[in-house]
């Protein structure tokens, strides 16, 4: 018995209309082989530093990827059965083959999702799998992937080169010593892996362990982080270190896009209350909002590009949080205001020419109403690509359809894969390139731009815009 063949149609995601499809193909042919720029993501720098083999197919594709296991969880499969470690150390499934079989038996759940596109792309192009994953083909695919992983050409650095990654950014907390990055730089390998400054653990009073983190930040930088000026100086110090280790950007994952511009005495009072653990939810929000404005000020001085990722209500499911902790697929999007929320920051820095703030959203209703008008006016603002739940062919089309009218193409910044799933990186960039070519082909077929302009835009969307916006 065999499973159905695993096929990647060469015209996948292109328009169904023959003339537009023909042009999309021609456009795609010019960008398909461009190097990958991955300026925002969450791969583990230790992979590249150690260059150890990935352990097995389940540890590679299932256990670390909440895009995958949240879907299985939604259909009643216990996270324990997928090998997700529990906080209390209680036993979970350890047998990688068994975990893989559970996944394979439920692979149909991913029909129509981008996760399915990414996984099939990786199975076929990276591992040479020829059968679609089903309960019946589970073992053969598992064995094939594991046999590959044991070979030197499937180690992280070899795959990095094979994937044609020009540069990849990881994200680290200011408290991270960046040892893996340091080892990487000393190793003589010429793959470019850079860090990004992600200060959420020390700027969010509601982050578990905030007080300890701020004290640690003080110890690391020999600043008195209980004073507002010392706290800011500590950030400047760590940012300089991150920049020396290759960082070109910062990233801020906040519940909202709120910014504040408060007097120093008010800032000190907020810091006092945050450290004492007595800040109200609104004061915590003001603290985070003030820190966005402070980070913009620091970016103006040190040149790091600032990214704001608002609108995710983290750990929505208290039981999953209790048993498994953060980042377990239980984060949910919320409506997000930008026009009012960003005003304090924009009033102060919106007209600068040497500052770039890249905005992301999980609230697609803000594209045409708020984000495109903001980015289509303020010199500091650019729009990040569709993110997380919207990193899908439909999400990419909705983005282009709703922001291009007001922000154009040049206030956008190309594609980010934003992933911890290393194997999905080529697939994600391929999907973005195909969908952008499809969008451009449609504009040409409606006689809204010339063919020559579409050919000029395609490499910009795949490569040039990201290279310039992120200073790569």
By beta-carbon proximity to Zn ion, the closer residue of 56 and 418 is: 418
Residue whose Cβ sits closest to Zn ion: 418
By beta-carbon proximity to Zn ion, the closer residue of 363 and 418 is: 418
By beta-carbon proximity to Zn ion, the closer residue of 39 and 246 is: 39
Backbone angles phi, psi at 400, to 5 degrees: -60, -40
* Cα–Cα distance measured from residue 87 to residue 449, given in angstroms and rounded to the nearest whole number: 55
User: Least CB distance from residue 42 to Zn ion, whole Å?
Assistant: 6
Using CB under 5 A as the binding rule, the residues of this chain from 180 to 239 that contact Zn ion are none
* Cα–Cα distance measured from residue 127 to residue 86, given in angstroms and rounded to the nearest whole number: 31
By beta-carbon proximity to Zn ion, the closer residue of 43 and 290 is: 43
> Tokens 């150890």 sit at which residue?
52
By beta-carbon proximity to Zn ion, the closer residue of 196 and 217 is: 196
Report which DSSP code applies to 5. Answer: B
By beta-carbon proximity to Zn ion, the closer residue of 58 and 171 is: 171
Using CB under 5 A as the binding rule, the residues of this chain from 127 to 146 that contact Zn ion are none
User: Least CB distance from residue 72 to Zn ion, whole Å?
Assistant: 22
By beta-carbon proximity to Zn ion, the closer residue of 200 and 418 is: 418
User: Least CB distance from residue 419 to Zn ion, whole Å?
Assistant: 8
By beta-carbon proximity to Zn ion, the closer residue of 31 and 431 is: 431
State the Cα torsion 377-382-388-391 to the nearest 10°: 90
User: Least CB distance from residue 397 to Zn ion, whole Å?
Assistant: 22
By beta-carbon proximity to Zn ion, the closer residue of 252 and 433 is: 252
| Pairing relationship of beta strands 305-308 and 312-313 according to DSSP bridges | unpaired
User: Is residue 331 a contact residue for Zn ion (CB under 5 A)?
Assistant: no
User: Least CB distance from residue 249 to Zn ion, whole Å?
Assistant: 11
User: Least CB distance from residue 308 to Zn ion, whole Å?
Assistant: 11
By beta-carbon proximity to Zn ion, the closer residue of 21 and 420 is: 420
User: Least CB distance from residue 256 to Zn ion, whole Å?
Assistant: 17
By beta-carbon proximity to Zn ion, the closer residue of 180 and 309 is: 309
* Cα–Cα distance measured from residue 460 to residue 437, given in angstroms and rounded to the nearest whole number: 11
Order of all β-strands in the sheet with 165-169: 36-38, 165-169, 193-194
* Cα–Cα distance measured from residue 73 to residue 79, given in angstroms and rounded to the nearest whole number: 6
Number of Cβ within 10 Å of residue 244's Cβ equals 10
- Give the chain as a 3 state SS string: CCCCECCCCCCCCCCCCHHHHHHHHHHHHHHCCCCEEECCCCCCHHHHHHCCCCCCHHHHHCCCCHHHHHHHHHCCCCHHHHCCCCCCCCCCCCCHHHHHHHHHHCHHHHCCCHHHHHHHHHHHHHCCCCECCCCCCHHHHHHHHHHHHCCHHHCHHHHHHHCCEEEEECCECCCCCCHHHHHHHHCCCCCCEECCECCHHHHCCCCCCHHHHHHHHHHHHCCCCCCHHHHHHHHHHHHHHHHHCCCCEEEECCCCCCCCCCCHHHHHHHHHHHHHCCCCHHHHHHHHHHHHHHHHHHHHHHCCEEEECCCEECCCCHHHHHHHCCCCCCCEECCCCCCCCCHHHHHHHCCCCCCCEEECCCCCCHHHHHHHHHHCCCCCEEECCCCHHHCCHHHHHHHHHHHHHHHCCCCECCCCCCCCCHHHHHHHHHHHHHHHHHHHHHHHHCCCCCHHHHHHHHHHHHHHHHHHHCCC
User: Least CB distance from residue 425 to Zn ion, whole Å?
Assistant: 13
User: Least CB distance from residue 48 to Zn ion, whole Å?
Assistant: 18
Binding mask 393-432 for Zn ion (x = CB under 5 A): -------------------------x--------------
User: Least CB distance from residue 418 to Zn ion, whole Å?
Assistant: 4
User: Least CB distance from residue 28 to Zn ion, whole Å?
Assistant: 26
User: Least CB distance from residue 209 to Zn ion, whole Å?
Assistant: 20
By beta-carbon proximity to Zn ion, the closer residue of 391 and 418 is: 418
What six digits make up the tokens of 200? Answer: 């959420």
Interface with Zn ion: number of residues (CB under 5 A): 1
- By the criterion CB under 5 A, which residues form the site for Zn ion? 418
């Amino acid at each position: 018995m065999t499973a159905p063949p695993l096929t990647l149609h060469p015209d996948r995601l292109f328009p169904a209309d023959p003339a537009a499809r023909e042009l999309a193909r021609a456009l795609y042919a010019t960008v398909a082989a461009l190097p990958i720029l991955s300026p925002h993501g969450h791969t583990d720098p230790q992979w590249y530093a150690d260059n150890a083999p990935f352990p097995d197919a389940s540890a590679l594709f299932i256990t670390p990827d909440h895009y995958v296991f949240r879907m299985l969880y939604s259909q009643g499969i216990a996270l324990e059965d997928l090998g997700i470690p529990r906080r209390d150390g209680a036993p979970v499934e350890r047998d990688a083959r068994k975990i893989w079989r559970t996944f394979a038996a439920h692979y149909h759940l991913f029909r129509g999702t981008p996760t399915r596109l990414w996984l099939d792309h990786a199975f076929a192009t990276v591992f040479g799998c020829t059968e679609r994953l089903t309960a019946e083909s589970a073992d053969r695919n598992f064995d094939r992937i594991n046999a590959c992983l044991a070979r030197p050409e499937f180690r992280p650095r070899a795959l990095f080169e094979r994937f044609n990654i020009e540069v990849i950014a990881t994200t680290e907390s200011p408290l991270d010593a960046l040892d893996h990055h340091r080892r990487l730089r000393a190793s003589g390998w010429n793959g470019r892996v850079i860090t990004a400054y992600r200060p959420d653990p020390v700027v969010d009073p509601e982050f578990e362990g905030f007080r300890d983190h701020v004290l640690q930040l003080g110890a690391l930088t020999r600043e008195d982080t209980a004073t507002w000026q010392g706290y800011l100086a500590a950030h400047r110090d760590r940012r300089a270190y991150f920049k020396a280790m290759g960082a070109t950007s910062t990233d801020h994952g906040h519940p909202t896009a709120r910014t504040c511009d408060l007097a120093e005495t008010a800032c000190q009072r907020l810091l006092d209350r945050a450290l004492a653990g007595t800040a109200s939810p609104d004061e915590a929000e003001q603290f985070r909002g003030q820190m966005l404005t402070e980070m913009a000020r620091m970016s103006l001085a040190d040149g790091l590009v600032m990214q704001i990722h608002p609108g995710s209500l983290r750990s929505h499911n208290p039981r999953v949080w209790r048993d498994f902790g953060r980042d377990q697929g239980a984060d949910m999007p919320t409506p997000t205001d930008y026009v009012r929320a960003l005003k304090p920051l924009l009033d102060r820095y919106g007209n600068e020419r040497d500052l770039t703030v890249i905005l992301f959203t999980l609230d697609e209703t803000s594209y045409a109403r708020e984000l495109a008008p903001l980015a289509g006016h303020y010199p500091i603002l650019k729009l990040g690509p569709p993110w997380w739940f919207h990193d899908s062919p439909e999400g990419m089309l909705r983005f282009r359809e709703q922001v291009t009218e007001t922000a154009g193409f040049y206030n956008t910044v190309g594609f980010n894969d934003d992933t911890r799933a290393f194997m999905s990186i080529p697939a994600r960039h391929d999907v973005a390139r195909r969908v952008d070519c499809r969008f451009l082909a449609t504009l040409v077929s409606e006689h809204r731009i010339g063919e020559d302009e579409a050919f000029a835009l395609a490499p910009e969307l795949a490569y040039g815009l990201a290279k310039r916006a992120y200073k790569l």
